[in-house]
Amino acid sequence: MKIATYNVNGINARLPVLLDWLEQESPDVVCLQELKAPDEKIPKHEIARSGYNAIWHGQKRWNGVAILAKEQLEIKEVGRGLEGEPEDEQSRYLEAIINDIVIGCLYLPNGNPAPGPKFDYKLRWFDRLAKKAKQLLDQDVPVILTGDYNVMPTEKDVYKPERWVDDALFRPETRKAFHDLSAQGWTDAIRKLYPDETIYTFWDYFRNAFGRNAGLRIDHFLLSPHLVPKLKNAGVDKHVRGWEKSSDHAPVWIELEKE
């Protein structure tokens, strides 16, 4: 079973790239972030025509997350949004059960400029996610928490770490929040398989960042303990970042052994 995550940076602007990638790589489950579209503008017919069921939590202009699964797989939605801040209207979390696995699709706030109210919101959102994550671990079921975490967990995950120390994606508070979340008992799938390799999932549109491989690793898969022995492979579809009209992120994927 192949599960992918992809920050599309506008699902309508990205539709041709998304459909081409789905056809080429044929992932079983896909978590999308940054739809940048309200529910009524999600291209649901095009997605269905490509052979995928989908649920989505859209929002006008910004944010927005969706979960796709091949049409023979049932998607049972079990949650949208995180508890703890009822006034929060940003669409950043969607949760479903597919093939008896809980899939949490998340788009963590960017948090810049830091310090400031946006950074405070990021850290609060991290805290709310950590509470959700702990609840899921306590249920003792297979869980995947995947998406755009907007965190480079270590210096290995940044092309020039010294330039990013004051950035919301790399500040000590942010890295500590990711570390503390992981320490609940989650496994970073990419680092489990490739502990020392330089692996990026995002390259800025500016300054020929992709051509220079000046990237960041900010899209992650966290696996609950049940799933770690089933992890067979993982990777980044880096070539998609080089396609015409691509997102600034590339798709990231894992393969789990079948039951």
Partner DNA sequence: ATGACCCTTTATAAGGGA
With CB under 7 A as the contact rule, the residue among 4, 11, 69, 102 that binds DNA is: 11
Q: Is 226 annotated as a binding residue?
A: no
Active site residue 6: no
Report phi then psi at 105, rounded to 5.
-105, 120
- Confirm or deny that 148 is annotated as ligand binding: yes
- 212 contributes a contact to DNA by CB under 7 A: no
Closest residue by Cα to residue 146 from 100, 93, 79: 93
> Based on CB atoms, which residue is closest to DNA, 88 or 204?
204
- By CB under 7 A, the residues from 47 to 86 that bind DNA are 60-62
Nearer to DNA, 134 or 245 (CB): 245
Catalytic-residue membership of 159: no
The verdict on whether residue 179 carries a ligand-binding annotation is no
In the structure encoding, which two tokens stand for residue 256, read together?
């789990």
Determine whether 237 is an active site residue: no
Integer angstrom CA distances of residue 153 from 93, 179, 201: 20, 7, 13
Place of tokens 């992932």: 27
Size of residue set near DNA by CB under 7 A: 33
Per CB under 7 A, which of residues 23..42 are in contact with DNA? 34, 36-38, 41
Q: Catalytic: which of 107, 149, 159, 200?
A: 107
Are the beta carbons of 25 and 237 closer than 8 angstroms?
yes
**Which DSSP state fits 249?**
B
Site string (118-137) toward DNA, x via CB under 7 A: x-------------------
At 31, list the tokens.
């978590």
- Rounded CA gap, 42 and 36, in Å? 9
**Angstrom distance (rounded) from CA 94 to CA 252:** 18
Choose which of 49, 134, 207, 232 interacts with DNA (CB under 7 A). Answer: 207
Question: Between residues 2 and 124, which has the closer beta carbon with respect to DNA?
Answer: 124
Binder among 95, 157, 248, 255 for DNA (CB under 7 A) = 248
CB 56 within 8 A of CB 48: no
53 is in an annotated binding site: no
Q: Give how far Cα 150 sits from Cα of 48, 60, 123, Å.
A: 29, 21, 11
Name the active-site residue from 28, 148, 157, 237: 148
Which residue positions form the known binding site for Mg(2+)? 7, 34, 148, 150, 248-249
